[in-house]
Structure 1
């Protein structure tokens, strides 16, 4: 290590100006479009996802290129700065959602969760691979093999997006409902398999499929779940008990954030994904009797109102809708979208019905798991970086991610209104949203967040 090296120069004044301006535009657009979405009866996450599309190359970059050039939305360094802020938001959002998960309910409904997760993965995965084998050649990156390309399309279509689903359920005040808990449990299980499949198809695109590339991620996931069930729970409980002894409310908040980042770092080190670690960490934290949820209310407000909208807004900055002007690309986008929505809904619905769940519960699961969002964005980015996907195919996948996040809430709201509210759900509503929460869980137009 060269200790005599010159220190890294800080950001220049112009870089700081561009950074804070871009953050302000993203947050302001996300806020306004989120409010508009709420007025239209949609979750605010829909407007937040569209904010980045507005400021990115699709709208601002096309209509006022000089402004886009000054904001440097096409430069890697500038995007990484914004990504870093948004990524903090998604880790904390997923972690807070994990804290609200009723682990006991998921244990009691383990069979239903397993059936829904499996069928909601297998059907769209098979359809996506088949579709990837017949899509036009100009959507496959030059020099890339057709089989890895088809595998990437299949994986992108089979995953769900825990961050988007979490924000949608919070916006609609459905997280306390049994069906909301099952949606989150199934989405988390699907993501476990999704990251495993991503590691496999990435290996296919680089070094080919080897036993170690498949078995190692499986071993990591199994070990991670075992650690969460044994060592992590008492350790986390001990740390939370120490934090609870102080009179400073900030100590509990800082401790929870530190624990979430520790879990996220662990899964990222295992090449699984930090978001998965934050979710599992939140579930471990939420199961501890030493957690004082009342002290986390300011953190929840800041994350859901500021950091999370920034993350969703950044997802659209890399999307270029002008690629859809080509008829072949537009036709391919429509085909991929239809297959993605139908197979995901059908897979989750059939799995729920196989587990002897009611018709409306099955429809709610099919609608909720259809939101792909940020996770599909990550898969698309990996495929682009590995030289498997073209920019046009990347845009198609991002478009599917955004539109599926748009179409999920109306069906989810309709299904939830036809599912009877139980006493346990009302108690969980008060536990999640505070004593002022309306016991009528059907009022999904109520406040997104109340003091926990």
Structure 2
């Protein structure tokens, strides 16, 4: 597939192999449309598809197929699947919850069956039915972080079910797609051909397992031992393995995207160091999702024919209907054995109704191989757009429905851990105040302050909070709260972004300064993080006061005579004291998570000793 695309791209007589002007125009359109879609809470892919349809041959005709675009786009989706594979943790597949497994099964099997039958009823072929079934069965949660943050669902049972279901669904989709491609290569569903296909598939996975678990790690260890490992070599290794596995998949009669996906899963662990893996993963993400893959999704729009609205409108409406109803109802029915109720099952189904990259890629390959018609391909693209657009609306209605009936359940695996980025005096004081009731970990790049923290009996690690694996080592998987308390506000914001996007931490609070760039402010808004206090926080000043014994830890008691609302407002202002925790009954809660103060509460604060700040606050 890759080779043929390259050959086609290189043909064209005296024309250059790549039309650079057209490529530049496609990239500008893709970036602009993707940004607009992201700003309103949808995946950038949706904007890129719509831009390709509106500006392509089907409508305006500003953009047209050009030499080299096909090859660039196909390379983009191969690298994108490599990145997706690197982002999937096999441990998450192993520990996927039973509700997630049931939701994935119902959300895939029911719409798959309905889509397949619908195509046959309208006179389509078996292969068209299979491709439509796969496409309507896919679950893409490309908008998950933004939607879950906006609806405050990150610490709910729904969020964990959705993550597990999407992971299982995408993996199963690629396996089934591989099987279909294998059978197509044989040309008939006879016993001999079936055995041959099965042998090729098994052989592919066996060879990649040996390479991924033994050969590639051995080679990289030898290179590191010879002091030959650097960023450029790490990138070369990852890209070589990804493209090599893609070619192996082609040789086995499968598609290159499956090989790249499998390569990514092997490259995640045991090949490079954690830091190198993360750095290269981000590089692959930037080059694929940020540059090459958008070319594919824009050019997908070039293949659209609007004639389906005249010739196949009934089939288009039927596919969108069975995709939505099959996903929502199928998920809800399979979800019933969990005992979590029909309402929660319907809400999970609504959240799983979005589609994204995988089914568009699958449909595009089906069109390229001549397995589906342009009309069916067009229907699948419009189905993906319509169902993805419905997710925010349907999910919001479902969540409000659950809240009205008191059925919006928090996760059974309640994340009580707290990770504090920074290990200075204020961060250590906060950790000491929280320690009796919940696990706390400090993370800082400065070995001096982490050493002090450990001598004080705190759990502290010397690591970079901007790296995923080091955050995981700090216990971020089990953390319900991240408090970014370094003197570097940029580090605070970027650590918050990583905690939210990579670990879906429900509560993220950030110490922000009086002056902050618009870019950092946009990140805070995008990930749904909140400032530590209402006013800017000078962490460095409070650290100096504690270090010089010019500030001390004290406790404010809230009784029946206290104006609790006014006290809470003054503490949040952060002008005279730095509030740490609220002691309520036998629990200790980070002050930043408290919405109200109750009689009997005790507020642990840091206040200056050179003036009676404590009395000022109480008054």
Would you call these one fold, judging by a TM-score over 0.5? yes
Distance 1:403 1:32, change over 3 A: same
1:395 is aligned, of 357, 378, 390, to: 378
Question: 1:34-68 deviations in whole A, cap 9, x for unaligned?
Answer: 1111221222222122222123222223xxxxx56
Structure whose CA Rg is larger: 2
1:315 corresponds to: 300
Structure 2 gap ranges (5+): 1-7, 400-407, 420-440, 442-464, 472-490, 509-523, 529-619
Question: 1:103-144 deviations in whole A, cap 9, x for unaligned?
Answer: 112112286665455433321232123212322x5xx5xxxx
Please say if 1:246 is aligned against 2:228. yes
Matches within 5 A, 1:133-212: 133-135=120-122, 140=124, 147=126, 149-158=128-137, 160=138, 165=140, 168=143, 179-180=162-163, 182-200=165-183, 202=184, 207-212=187-192
Quick one: distance in 2 between partners of 1:110 and 1:225? 26
Secondary structure class of the residue paired with 1:109: coil
Indicate the structure with greater helix content: 1
1:265 corresponds to: 247
Matches within 5 A, 1:8-407: 15-16=15-16, 19-61=19-61, 71=64, 73=65, 78=66, 81-109=68-96, 115-135=102-122, 140=124, 147=126, 149-158=128-137, 160=138, 165=140, 168=143, 179-180=162-163, 182-200=165-183, 202=184, 207-229=187-209, 231-244=211-224, 245-246=227-228, 248-288=230-270, 290-291=272-273, 292-296=276-280, 297-321=282-306, 323-326=307-310, 328-351=311-334, 354=337, 363-364=347-348, 367-368=351-352, 370-371=354-355, 373-376=357-360, 378-379=362-363, 382=366, 386=370, 389-407=372-390
Distance 1:228 1:393, change over 3 A: closer
Quick one: distance in 2 between partners of 1:171 and 1:13? 47
Matches within 5 A, 1:409-428: 420=411, 422=415
Quick one: distance in 1 between partners of 2:313 and 2:95? 45
Question: 1:152-196 deviations in whole A, cap 9, x for unaligned?
Answer: 5434433x27xxx48656887999x85435512331122201332
Judge conservation of contact 2:103–2:334 (CA < 8 Å) in 1. Answer: yes
Distance 1:59 1:232, change over 3 A: same
Report the Cα offset of residue 281 of structure 1: 1.0
1:64 corresponds to: none
Higher relative contact order (CA 8 A, sep 6+): 1
Quick one: distance in 2 between partners of 1:300 and 1:181? 22
Report the Cα offset of residue 87 of structure 1: 1.6
Quick one: distance in 1 between partners of 2:298 and 2:264? 24
Quick one: distance in 2 between partners of 1:425 and 1:413? 29
1:446 corresponds to: 526
Report the Cα offset of residue 258 of structure 1: 0.7
Judge conservation of contact 2:77–2:257 (CA < 8 Å) in 1. Answer: yes
Judge conservation of contact 2:102–2:335 (CA < 8 Å) in 1. Answer: yes
* Aligned length, in residue pairs: 410
Indicate the structure with greater strand content: 2
Quick one: distance in 2 between partners of 1:351 and 1:9? 47
Judge conservation of contact 2:76–2:296 (CA < 8 Å) in 1. Answer: yes
Distance 1:231 1:325, change over 3 A: closer
Report the Cα offset of residue 279 of structure 1: 1.3
Quick one: distance in 2 between partners of 1:241 and 1:363? 47
Distance 1:331 1:370, change over 3 A: same
TM-score scaled by structure 2?
0.56
Judge conservation of contact 1:188–1:276 (CA < 8 Å) in 2. Answer: no
Question: 1:275-323 deviations in whole A, cap 9, x for unaligned?
Answer: 11111111111021633235324443233321222222222111122x1
Judge conservation of contact 1:43–1:409 (CA < 8 Å) in 2. Answer: no
Quick one: distance in 2 between partners of 1:9 and 1:303? 19
TM-score scaled by structure 1?
0.74
Distance 1:295 1:240, change over 3 A: farther
Report the Cα offset of residue 394 of structure 1: 3.2
Judge conservation of contact 2:141–2:355 (CA < 8 Å) in 1. Answer: no
Question: 1:377-414 deviations in whole A, cap 9, x for unaligned?
Answer: 5446636854x754433322232233334444666799
Secondary structure class of the residue paired with 2:303: coil
Distance 1:369 1:289, change over 3 A: farther
400-409 vs 439-448, greater mean Cα deviation: 439-448
Judge conservation of contact 2:119–2:128 (CA < 8 Å) in 1. Answer: yes
Report the Cα offset of residue 239 of structure 1: 3.0
Judge conservation of contact 2:216–2:271 (CA < 8 Å) in 1. Answer: no
Report the Cα offset of residue 334 of structure 1: 1.1
Judge conservation of contact 2:141–2:166 (CA < 8 Å) in 1. Answer: no
Q: CA RMSD in A?
A: 4.3
Question: 1:187-230 deviations in whole A, cap 9, x for unaligned?
Answer: 11222013323544x47xx9542123434334444444444555
